[in-house]
């Protein structure tokens, strides 16, 4: 690290000889690989933009000039070169560096960004807002497949101020790129400057790993008076053989390895099995085949696996079209990304009462990815929609049960599950009945704990330990979050009800139970513990759960206090 140790800010990159920049890039790749393999994070996408980031730092004057990442998971080299080398050991750790750009972390970070296709819209706004410096959008990993990019592109030519648009073309999104945009870029790679791009000056087929050439092209863009596009060809995973050969596998790596299957894997395996016997089943995803566990499905049923790129709204409305044709679509999207399709879920699925099943991965807290990726809001926004049923399994076996049950369910359905391994171990697995909850521990006690998903395990273990305090609690698996089990609640007269859940309070199960108890004058006391509606930064998933009092010990103290012990 002889060269990197001399660099703490981008200004110092400019003092190096151009001949030293390749060695600097090599040092950065080593740091990124070491720390990402240790802490988890986005590996292949960051390795691919190291040379480009070094060249950008050499040419532009950050933070006066504004670099906007699209998507934000390409920012590791930039963080290292903007004064955060020593802090890089804390990447994705509690109190440490965020894996995405974060304004609160550094003046060099222009905007907090973790979702795709937003950069050019931000740039249009900053240009109109009177920014003095250059505005550079670094667009990569399939962000051009999102519709917002084209809405902004339609607007960018009306600006008085120049914007520099860099397309990091690595022929990949998170999985392989798909569709017309990918085909267009293939043509650009072949024919180069012979292909026009909406009348905007475009420099094509720039070698993204030739730092000297990059510097020349970036200087040209800096001196240009008009908006310009630089088409930079990079290799995702550059410099690390395993990541170069399997960029999708190494797009994001986990620091924690165990032998237990994840919910994503269980979902993918089960849906593949169902599709083996039912030709009406389609799987739809938005650039996340591997991330959502659909790798096996894509191999077994390629004609029924549809990857639309980073276009969640289109995924949902297209699923509605499949359902209108009498088929059974399953839309697999992370909770944080499904937010982008809210209107489509309402307008195109729920109002037509169509049998589209939403398989919502990364529901609840999502550890190391920080504020932009928490799945804490889908319970509230989905539960407010007409005709929508919302479920969450307590473990992998119940996820399989819910998917079996979903095949014949003829209305909108959401099945949500967390980013963690399935711990299993429940003795009770009763058949799924619409809208009905499951008694996991029943003695007709004066206290009832109602929970669902991963938090239910903490609640169940807390109930066992509370016996030693002479507090007896029944435990209920509220696998149907919407609608709630009113028949069960009617039998809770005179009891203490504790509702524990990993979502924001507004629109939560707690709020619905409280309303139901009041409306029907059941005469029970209802206490809730959920998640305060504030941003949640980088930390391990268990640390985040503990921070909001949903771990076992916090639940015990909460119930003790309410019971007057």
> Among candidates 191, 171, 190, which has minimal Cα distance to 181?
171
Helix (H) or strand (E) holding 490: helix 486-490
Q: Which residue among the candidates 35, 238, 340, 512 is catalytic per the annotation?
A: 340
In 135-176, which ranges are E strands?
135-140, 164-169
Q: How many CB atoms lie within 10 A of CB 194?
A: 9
Round to whole Å and give the CA distance between 252 and 39: 11
Helix axes 455-466, 552-562, angle to 10 degrees: 50
HSE-up of residue 306 (Cα within 13 Å, Cβ side): 18
Round to whole Å and give the CA distance between 565 and 556: 11
Q: Is 236 a catalytic residue?
A: yes
Round to whole Å and give the CA distance between 508 and 505: 5
Q: Is 312 a catalytic residue?
A: yes
In 260-354, which ranges are E strands?
281-285, 305-307, 328-334
User: What letter does residue 400 receive in the DSSP assignment?
Assistant: H
Q: How many CB atoms lie within 10 A of CB 497?
A: 22
HSE-up of residue 14 (Cα within 13 Å, Cβ side): 12
Round to whole Å and give the CA distance between 456 and 477: 7
Q: Which residue among the candidates 236, 419, 495, 512 is catalytic per the annotation?
A: 236
Q: Which residue among the candidates 35, 79, 102, 312 is catalytic per the annotation?
A: 312
Specify the residue for token string 């919910």: 263
Q: What would the two tokens of residue 237 be? A: 């995973």
Question: Which residues are catalytic, by number?
Answer: 236, 312, 340
């Amino acid at each position: 690290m002889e060269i990197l140790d001399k660099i703490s800010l981008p200004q110092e990159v400019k003092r190096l000889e151009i001949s030293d920049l390749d060695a600097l890039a090599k040092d950065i790749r080593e740091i990124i690989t070491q720390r990402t393999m240790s802490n988890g994070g986005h590996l292949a996408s960051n390795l691919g933009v190291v040379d480009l980031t070094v060249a950008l730092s050499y040419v532009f004057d950050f933070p006066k000039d504004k670099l906007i990442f699209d998507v934000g998971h390409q920012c590791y080299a930039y963080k290292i070169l903007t004064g955060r080398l020593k802090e890089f050991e804390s990447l994705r750790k509690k109190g440490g560096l965020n894996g995405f750009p974060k304004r609160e972390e550094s003046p060099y970070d222009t905007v907090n960004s973790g979702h795709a296709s937003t950069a050019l819209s931000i740039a249009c706004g900053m240009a109109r807002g009177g920014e003095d410096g250059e505005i550079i959008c670094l667009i990569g990993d399939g962000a051009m497949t999102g519709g917002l990019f084209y809405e902004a592109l339609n607007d960018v030519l009306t600006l008085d101020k120049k914007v520099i648009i860099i397309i990091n073309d690595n022929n990949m999104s998170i999985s392989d790129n798909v569709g017309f945009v990918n085909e267009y870029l293939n043509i650009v790679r072949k024919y180069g400057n012979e292909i026009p791009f909406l009348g905007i000056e475009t420099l094509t087929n720039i070698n993204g790993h030739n730092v000297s050439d990059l510097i020349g092209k970036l200087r040209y863009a800096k001196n240009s008076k008009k908006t310009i596009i630089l088409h930079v060809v990079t290799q995702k995973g550059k410099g690390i053989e395993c990541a170069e050969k399997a960029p999708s596998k190494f797009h994001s790596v986990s620091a924690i390895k165990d032998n237990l299957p994840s919910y994503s894997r269980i979902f993918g395996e089960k849906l593949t099995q169902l599709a083996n016997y039912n030709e009406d089943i389609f799987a739809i995803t938005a650039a996340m085949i591997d991330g959502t566990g659909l790798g096996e499905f894509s191999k077994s049923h390629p004609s029924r696996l549809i990857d639309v790129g980073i276009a969640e709204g289109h995924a949902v409305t297209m699923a509605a079209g499949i359902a209108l044709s009498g088929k059974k679509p399953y839309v697999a999207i992370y909770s944080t990304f499904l937010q982008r399709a809210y209107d489509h879920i309402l307008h195109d699925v729920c109002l037509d009462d169509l049998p589209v099943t939403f398989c919502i991965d990364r529901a609840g807290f999502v550890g190391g990815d920080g504020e932009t990726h928490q799945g804490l809001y889908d319970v509230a926004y989905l539960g407010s929609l007409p005709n929508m049923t919302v479920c969450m399994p307590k473990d992998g076996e119940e996820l399989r049960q819910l998917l079996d049950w979903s095949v014949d369910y003829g209305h909108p359905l959401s099945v949500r599950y967390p980013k963690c391994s399935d711990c299993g171990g429940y003795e009770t697995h009763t058949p799924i009945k619409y809208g009905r909850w499951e008694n996991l521990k029943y003695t007709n006690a004066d206290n009832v704990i109602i929970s669902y998903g991963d938090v239910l395990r903490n609640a169940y273990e807390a109930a066992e330990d509370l016996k030693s305090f002479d507090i007896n609690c029944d435990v209920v698996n509220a696998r149907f979050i919407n609608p709630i089990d009113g028949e069960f609640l009617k039998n809770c007269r005179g009891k203490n009800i504790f509702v524990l859940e990993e979502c924001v309070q507004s629109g939560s199960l707690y709020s619905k139970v409280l309303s139901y108890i009041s409306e029907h004058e059941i005469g029970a006391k209802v206490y809730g513990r959920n998640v305060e509606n504030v941003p949640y930064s980088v930390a391990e998933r268990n640390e985040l759960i503990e921070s909001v009092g949903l771990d076992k010990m916090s639940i015990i103290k909460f119930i003790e206090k309410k019971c007057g012990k």
